[in-house]
Amino acid sequence: MRYATITGWGKAIPPAILSNADLETIMETSDEWISTRTGIKERRIAEVETSDMAAMAGRQAIAAAGKSPEDVDLIVVATCSPDTLLPSAAAWAQTKLGATNAAAFDLNAACSGFLYSLIVATNMIKGGTHKCALVIGSEKLHSFVNFRDRTTAVLFGDGAGAVLLEAVDQDEPTGLLSSEMGLEVGTEELLWAPQSGTKTYTDEAIASERAIQMGGSEVFRRAVTMMAESSERVLAEAGWTSEDVDIMIPHQANVRIIDAATRRLGIDESKVFVNIASYGNTSGATIPIALTEALEEGRIEPGAKLVFAAFGAGLTWAAATFQWGDRVTPIDTYDVEFPASSLTGIDIIQANLEYFGRNDVAATSEAAE
Ligand code: ACO
């Protein structure tokens, strides 16, 4: 039987930090509010583009699998913040990786994008059209954040993570055992960036509408339900109970969402991987970064049973059970190196502050709610 299993993993974490204390200097907020309401202490801000981080994380995943870029026949980049709409971030990343034999495309399902991509790539491998897929989540979300809107700006960060997914023929099931992805109708404007595409208004462009806006508490409520219920369904389909799960890797949007969803699922908090304090919500990059860090920290053992769950703009959701293989250490290593720079997070977002300051903010999320 043909399965698709993860043989390599990697991440690219931009060096510049934007802490809660930094945010206190530019908006009316506090470390205390952000920490207790979200679990976030700091986030990373990238100077390089989404595809640069995608290529770095991808290159590390390829090395961890003991492969070379030419072996890759498919690249899927989960992103809602591509360098350009035309071409895709995957196209830029393919060139930067030197993956000359790969088809490449972006998949935008916002924060559920990595799981959507993992499911799509798994099915392409199982269907026999591809054998070696690089599935990347990469985001430079700060480009779509208005740092004058405290209701959204504190939540997001930049970064990338990746896995290499390879075909294996064996009797024992491995890789994704059960999965689902979905989208709730009529919720597009609950979490969106109104002027990030072709949809424009007759008014002079309102700068704040380039940025992410959301109905935070409504998204919060739906996120808990979506993550808990979809996880319950994929666990049942795999024939697992919550006690069978060795580690759960949820999307990291708010630690209170993670706590509420996993409590409902009955998964002990010691089994839930949480790294939101360091990175905030990196949307499509969140789960592959968390998976890579779980492996680096020895939290995943050979044969481990994993559960993934995510939700995001759309509103999308996805969940999956994943049977890990035998290897939990990289075959080879690749050191991710960002270009040398002395800029801090607060330095890098100055352009953003000027942009949104110039085009004063009429419509913030607070106004939208
Ligand atoms: N600092 C200080 N005060 C703030 C801040 C801030 N950064 N942001 C909001 N507040 C204030 C509000 O103005 C409000 O004040 P008021 O009571 O005087 O009106 C008060 O804090 C409470 O605001 P709430 O919105 O009720 O706070 P809540 O506890 O719901 O937390 C949050 C807000 C963190 C945004 C939460 O609703 C949340 O996490 N929602 C889900 C967000 C999410 O997961 N988005 C997914 C994005 S994924 C993607 O696809 C890109």
Q: What digits encode the pLDDT tens for the residues 277-317? A: 999 999 999 999 999 999 999 999 999 999 999 999 999 99
The number of beta carbons lying within 10 Å of the beta carbon of residue 181 is 18
Tell me which amino acid residue 46 is: A
259 lines ligand 1 (CB under 6 A): no
Using the CB atoms, write b or e for 77-110: b if 16+ within 10 Å. bbbbbbbeeebbbbbbbbebbebeebbbbbbbbb
* pLDDT confidence of residue 368: 46
**Residue among 80, 111, 142, 352 flagged as catalytic:** 111
Query: Mean pLDDT across the stretch 199-222?
Result: 80
- Give residue 197's pLDDT band: very low, low, confident or very high (50, 70, 90): confident
* Nearest alpha-carbon partner for 59 in 117, 95, 118, 10: 10
C-alpha closest to that of 146 among 348, 354, 369: 354
Q: Is 281 a catalytic residue?
A: yes
List pLDDT tens digits, range 237-274.
Answer: 999 999 999 999 999 999 999 999 999 999 999 999 99
CA-nearest residue, atom 3 of ligand 1: 29
Between the alpha carbon of residue 43 and those of residues 4, 17, 158, 278, 324, the distances in Å are: 32, 6, 7, 6, 29
Asked if pLDDT for residue 367 goes beyond 50, the answer is: no
Q: Is the CB of 190 under 6 A from ligand 1?
A: no
How far is the C-alpha of 199 from the C-alpha of 6, rounded, in Å? Answer: 38
User: Residue 151: CB within 6 Å of ligand 1?
Assistant: yes
All domains of the chain in start order, with CATH = 2-173 (3.40.47.10), 175-323 (3.40.47.10)
* CA–CA distance, 88 with 187 (Å, rounded to integer): 26
pLDDT of residue 360: 52
111 is catalytic: yes
**In this model, does residue 354 exceed pLDDT 90?**
no
- Chain mean pLDDT for the chain: 94
Hey, whose CA ends up nearest to atom 28 of ligand 1?
217
CB 183 within 8 A of CB 314: yes
CB atoms within 10 A of CB 340: 6
Which band of pLDDT confidence, cut at 50, 70 and 90, is reported for residue 209? confident
> What is the Cα–Cα distance from 121 to 192, expressed in whole angstroms?
26
Residue pLDDT, tens place only, 102-145: 999 999 999 999 999 999 999 999 999 999 999 999 999 999 99
